[in-house]
Structure 1
Amino acid sequence: METKSNTAHYEVRGDIALITFDNPPVNGLGHPVRTAVVAGIEKALADPKVTAIVVTGAGKAFSGGADIKEFGGPKALAEPTLHTMIRVAETATKPVIVAIHTVCMGGGLEFSLGCHFRVASPGAQIALPEVKLGLIPGAGGTQRLPRVVGLETALNMIASGAPVASEQLGVPTKERPTALFDEIIEGDLIEGALAFARKVVAEKRPLKLVRDLKVTHPNAEAFVQFAKNSVTAVAKNFPAPLKCVEVVAASLTMPFEAGMRLERETFLALMMTPESRALRHAFFAERAASKIPDIPEDTKPRKIEKVGVIGAGTMGGGIAMNFLNAGIPVTILETKQEALDRGLATIRKNYEGTVKKGKLTADKMESRMALLKPTLSYDDLKDADLIIEAVFEEIGVKEQVFKKLDEVAKPGAILASNTSTLDVDKIASFTKRPGDVVGMHFFSPANVMKLLEVVRGKKSAPDVMATVMQVGKKIKKTAVVSGVCDGFIGNRMLKFYGRQANDLVEEGASPQQVDRAMEKFGFAMGPFRVADLAGNDIGWSIRKRLYAENANTPKQPIADKICEMGRFGQKTGAGWYRYEPGKRDAIPDPVVDKVIEEVRKANGVTPRKISDEEIVERCIYALVNEGARIVEECIAARASDVDMVYLTGYGFPLHRGGPMLYADQVGLPNVERAMKKYEKQTGDAFWKPAAILSKLAAEGKNFN
């Protein structure tokens, strides 16, 4: 006998009922799944022929936990809830055994802990990752997990959210009488689980409940305090990790039901925090960014089996490493042997550093290096499926490269530019195949930074876009699509952030005050320390181009003067700060103070006292206003794409959720009011609120 739904299957094998989650891709425990599982357990309990129940998951996961499509919606709270589903399994009068494979996370693990027995395949990834969304487990995980794996292991798992392999969580031994699993099954999991179920019935094993176990620890108070200190040190902007420690520690001292109440109250309180909202926003924004609204998800991508990279400098070498790490052969091109040798040596040195840290074996390093083919000839790129140029950021240089690529690249090869600001449509016009041209803007260091801005030209073919997004996933990047405009999403917004920082200094703040205020807001480094790290000459080069293209472009006289003095930052030992040889400490420099004073005097500016609040508002709201215009112009498909660019490429504090979500949390009417105040105060037309911002504020709506 077998009955099916589209979310769970129920069948009887001999005298054992088998219930299988079937909700691809990760068997999320959505309302239809929960309903089917509860009905399945009740059906098995009512059937006199059934002696035990086995629950497992179809496909590539046992269960990834809650169904993300239900997050924040009414279905997440609809009966049967996850709590009800667990209670039905826990109170069943016949043995309920879960058979876990591949992935068991979140609510999937909490359900498993409510069942009587657990078996697993070796290598299954077990986790309670709720802390990564600014939450704690909300269906008993904080109270049940320490009862089977011990306080320390449970606390480490819950406060970090990191997965642990099933065999590490073990089976009971004399030394450790409780463990997460009753058996680790090699070979066929379902057959093994059915055999285990029959053994449980034959031996008349009692239906043990995790909730009845006691939590002990030899030095509990000291360990809990140590855990609190450790978590506080690494999670200063997030309340959830410390709450994880407190609620897991309650399993030591509170009765089970009281611990469950504390867990629920804490879960609901954290759900309301801006930090949790920011983390959940980032989680969904990353998934949304991978979807291009007007390109069907079933668009067939092109095959990418060989990649060419033009330029073996810092950027080109970093780009190449992404593909080598993914096992894709790379041909790297330079114009001179010396530059090629230097580039290869840098790639090797980067890998050797990773080997020294123990994050890569020497064998793997050599196998990756073996995939790299150096060349001085464009002819060696003729069989590449994707060619990415990382040459000097000047349109004439790009023209030479793309005209050459048009001659040598095979039909159907994707030709990508790593330009950070230039016109991708113009670059595409240098070829006879503009449909094959796209922007792939990596962020430095390209082998580390997560963001990949995928710049869609007017003629970029749908399958080219689908391919590049898929490639982004393969090389473990967060790919965000941008339309064509100067600076795309990230650098276009950064221009105004930097301009506000400069204006604030001209008006009376010091570079140190601006940096401190932005670091207090949550950035790892303020704008002037970042400029010194990246190289002030990069921004100067862009400003000079903009000045030449448009005489009305607002000038940044202090920044320009500093560059004219050859103060390009850390690489020259001096920029907005000075630097001791071999050190990165930013030391305030009287020379810069003098430049600031001279510029103020020349421009007739009387310096005024500026508050940290004004610094933060002007720098952040500059990002918000330009981000709003980018959404308005459809350069970005959605406001959350703007947030993903800033979270993954520009160090925007994660606990703030990105500039657009931050504006939502402050309240768009408040943001608009501040912008109008700065428009009046500075006379800068930039501060006129973007039309979409004013419209949303008037309607009581948000960007997200």
Structure 2
Amino acid sequence: MSAEYKVDGSIAIITMNNPPVNGLGHVTRHAIVEGVRQALNDPAVKAIVITGAGKAFSGGADIKEFNSPKAFAEPSLHTVINVIESADKPVIAAIHTVCMGGGLELALGCHYRIASPGAQIALPEVKLGILPGAGGTQRLPRVVGLELALNMIVSGTPVASEKLAKTALFNTVAEGDLMTAATAFAHQVADVRPLPKVRDIKIDYPNYEAFLQFSRNTVTAMAGPFPAPLKCVEAVAAAVTRKFDDGIRFERDLFLNLVQTTESKALRHAFFGERAASKLPDVPEDTPIRPIKSVAVIGAGTMGGGIAMNFANAGIPVKILEMKQEALDKGLATIRKNYENTFRKGKLTQEKFDQRVSLITGSLSYDDIAQADLVIEAVFEDMGVKEQVFKKLDSVMKQGAILASNTSTLDVDKIAAFTQRPQDVVGMHFFSPANVMKLLEIVRGKKTAKDVLATVLAISKKIKKTGVVSGVCDGFIGNRMIEQYSRQAGFLLEEGCTPEQVDKAVEKLGFAMGPFRMGDLAGNDIGWYIRKRRYVEKPHITYSKTADLLCEMGRFGQKTGAGWYDYKPGDRKAYPSDVVNEMIVKHSADLGITRRKISDQEIVERLIYALVNEAAYILEEGIATRASDIDMVYLTGYGFPLHTGGPMFYADTVGLPNVVMAMEKYAKGRHGDAWKPAPLLAKLAAEGKTFN
């Protein structure tokens, strides 16, 4: 689709029509230019109105053309804006619902702008590691002022149109029908000359040098590894300090420079990766989904309570089932306390607080959850316990209900086999804390129905999670990979590192926390329980015994006040532990290992390349659909640094031949068997290809 042209009396109306958000793709840009030219060549036309069909004015660039030659093909957005701005008849932008990125830049090129209330106005390019590249940094400060424009551009956060009503961005915010108001306004200004141009407005901001320097200092402190926010400041500064055309050229140079940065490529990779994760090759987009109007959760513990909150936050009633009144009361009290904390911080209105709390109720009887559309089991991670629960669910739940397990490692096919309806069984692995973490690993069993997958992917969006589908294997995508990462972390301790050194090395790269701080947060006893199972099921896999020795000391992490680190009451800060470090050194001596100095580079490579190699097996086995799915799991569930794009994108950036070369080097050390490259990794490296 492109743009539709019609004439209403003496007013030409150009309606962008490129669903879902009227992206400014090449065909649409061409149609706008042709529409403007047609209107200019028609003596009967006195003014032109540009608007968008459906639920957007324009969301900006067409993401289908991102990273392709079409994105810059003529007519470029710059050309479109120049055609509009230089028109000798007034051009009015009729803005509604969504006006972002290139859509807002297009509107700023018009002579007049009318908006409906509630329209979301933004220049969000910084979130993709770039800046507005079609005049946004030069024009927006001229209509809303230097300070507001800078805040909008550096944050990328949308602002409602009515909050901008008193600025020069809009000539009016129209109540009632937008197009009626726009055509009436077009008649009013049809003969007004000269035509106003945003480029001609002078920016008046006393002592702008001090404000810009303050902004540079603030943004530098907050931007972390991302270069775009500071470049946004410099581009906006050019709007004040340079002539308009010079500022446009400066903005364009900065834009082209940012597009080539690894950080921007990583952000764009994550942007597309999140959208790709919701698509499965064998599940058509028009697959019917089952209605989810009520949800049940089995277990009122930390995980069960967090899961329930997700659905209540989305306005879906939830019933939590427990076996004992005491456990149920404790779980409901914790949920209420969580909401009270959010309310006290001003992030929740009284109305929303009351609504969400009322949507979560409890029960001690399976009969009370029988009519739920979706039931999620969140009980202890033990197959025997799961068997009891799923046999009971099979006997009481209505036909068509989706039966989901929150298991983090167990075989979903075995769980499904406990029922007479394996097609309705699926894994829904939430990450702790479940009401905060964005990832939802959706585990597809051999018999899971396609409409169940489509429904769970849809519900994941509704509860604001990034749903990533995994096949069945031990640990699925995330925990299967993290096991190899944790193994290497343990071996590093034996060979010469302390927990603090390992954690600091990866945290310096941008990880939210290193493997040992993460273990203390999650509970070291969880890993211990899994390793004990591994010793029986997979005796050929070797682990460092340091983690077992730690658990034998009762140091399970923050919940016991001691783990790899020491903790003080009411203080989550990790303090290095002399007791733990002495244990590690003694263990090395008991193994006959001479401890050595290990570089941060070796630490980072061993941890990340262990993830990458296991991920290559996962891809090859078809457990993950695509490499970007694996990146999304790690970006949204494991604190992998966003600016690196995830483990697979990181490996692509380093170069797969370099990854394999490093692995060959580490294969000569202790536990060298862990460094055999996965066949897919070896093949791609030999061919000079990438995962993504």
Q: So what's the TM-score if we normalise by structure 2?
A: 0.99
Indicate which of 173, 180, 187 corresponds to 2:176. Answer: 187
1:442 equivalent in alignment to 2:437: no
Distance in 1 between residues matched to 2:199 and 2:585, nearest whole Å: 70
Q: Which deviates further from its counterpart, 81-90 or 366-375?
A: 366-375
Indicate which of 603, 616, 636 corresponds to 2:604. Answer: 616
Give the Å deviation of 1:38: 0.3
Distance in 2 between residues matched to 1:354 and 1:593, nearest whole Å: 39
1:492 aligned partner: 480
Aligned-partner residue type, residue 642 of structure 1: I
1:55 equivalent in alignment to 2:50: yes
Contact map agreement 1:247 1:259 (CA 8 A) in 2: yes
Secondary structure at 1:578 match in 2: strand
Give the Å deviation of 1:550: 2.0
Distance in 2 between residues matched to 1:390 and 1:206, nearest whole Å: 68
CA displacement 1:194-234 (0-9 Å, x = unmatched): 000000025x2421111111112122111111111111111
Aligned-partner residue type, residue 153 of structure 1: L
1:170 aligned partner: 165
Contact map agreement 1:502 1:558 (CA 8 A) in 2: yes
Indicate which of 273, 279, 282 corresponds to 1:291. Answer: 279
Indicate which of 233, 239, 251 corresponds to 2:227. Answer: 239
Distance in 2 between residues matched to 1:353 and 1:310, nearest whole Å: 25
2:460 aligned partner: 472
Secondary structure at 1:97 match in 2: strand
Secondary structure at 2:338 match in 1: helix
2:309 aligned partner: 321
Contact map agreement 2:524 2:551 (CA 8 A) in 1: yes
2:536 aligned partner: 548
Contact map agreement 2:517 2:574 (CA 8 A) in 1: yes
Aligned-partner residue type, residue 11 of structure 2: I
Structure 1: tracts of 5 or more residues without a match = 1-5, 173-178
**Number of residues paired by the alignment?**
692
1:272 equivalent in alignment to 2:260: yes
Contact map agreement 2:490 2:543 (CA 8 A) in 1: no
Indicate which of 296, 302, 326 corresponds to 1:338. Answer: 326
1:110 aligned partner: 105
1:121 equivalent in alignment to 2:109: no
CA displacement 1:19-63 (0-9 Å, x = unmatched): 000000000000110111100000000000000000000000000
Distance in 2 between residues matched to 1:171 and 1:359, nearest whole Å: 27
1:421 aligned partner: 409
Give the Å deviation of 1:680: 2.0
2:632 aligned partner: 644
Distance in 2 between residues matched to 1:384 and 1:437, nearest whole Å: 14
Aligned-partner residue type, residue 215 of structure 2: A
1:196 equivalent in alignment to 2:185: yes
Q: Which deviates further from its counterpart, 54-63 or 361-370?
A: 361-370
Secondary structure at 2:195 match in 1: coil
Secondary structure at 2:565 match in 1: coil
Distance in 2 between residues matched to 1:145 and 1:446, nearest whole Å: 39
Distance in 1 between residues matched to 2:671 and 2:407, nearest whole Å: 33
2:30 aligned partner: 35
Give the Å deviation of 1:555: 2.5
CA displacement 1:52-80 (0-9 Å, x = unmatched): 00000000000000000101101111111
Give the Å deviation of 1:685: 1.8
Aligned-partner residue type, residue 599 of structure 1: H
CA displacement 1:629-661 (0-9 Å, x = unmatched): 111111000000000000000000001110000
After superposition, where does 1:245-256 map in structure 2 within 5 Å? 245-256=233-244
2:68 aligned partner: 73
CA displacement 1:495-544 (0-9 Å, x = unmatched): 01111111011011111111110111111211111111111101111111
Distance in 2 between residues matched to 1:185 and 1:516, nearest whole Å: 55
1:532 equivalent in alignment to 2:512: no
Give the Å deviation of 1:683: 4.3
Secondary structure at 2:586 match in 1: helix
Contact map agreement 1:270 1:276 (CA 8 A) in 2: yes
Aligned-partner residue type, residue 125 of structure 1: Q
1:668 equivalent in alignment to 2:656: yes
Give the Å deviation of 1:362: 1.7
Contact map agreement 2:343 2:350 (CA 8 A) in 1: yes
Distance in 2 between residues matched to 1:360 and 1:688, nearest whole Å: 51
Distance in 1 between residues matched to 2:366 and 2:541, nearest whole Å: 39
Contact map agreement 2:494 2:544 (CA 8 A) in 1: no
Contact map agreement 2:123 2:156 (CA 8 A) in 1: yes
Aligned-partner residue type, residue 135 of structure 1: I
Aligned-partner residue type, residue 113 of structure 2: R
Secondary structure at 1:587 match in 2: strand
CA displacement 1:275-301 (0-9 Å, x = unmatched): 000000000000000001111111000
Q: Sequence identity, in percent?
A: 70
After superposition, where does 1:556-595 map in structure 2 within 5 Å? 556-595=544-583
Q: Which deviates further from its counterpart, 530-539 or 51-60?
A: 530-539
Distance in 2 between residues matched to 1:171 and 1:673, nearest whole Å: 61
Distance in 2 between residues matched to 1:206 and 1:99, nearest whole Å: 21
CA displacement 1:136-184 (0-9 Å, x = unmatched): 1000000011011110011000000000111111245xxxxxx100111
Contact map agreement 1:416 1:439 (CA 8 A) in 2: yes
Distance in 2 between residues matched to 1:695 and 1:256, nearest whole Å: 52
Structure 2: tracts of 5 or more residues without a match = none
After superposition, where does 1:276-425 map in structure 2 within 5 Å? 276-425=264-413
Aligned-partner residue type, residue 678 of structure 2: A
Secondary structure at 2:288 match in 1: coil
Aligned-partner residue type, residue 78 of structure 2: H
Contact map agreement 1:171 1:184 (CA 8 A) in 2: no
CA displacement 1:448-485 (0-9 Å, x = unmatched): 10000000000000000000000101100000000000
1:153 equivalent in alignment to 2:148: yes
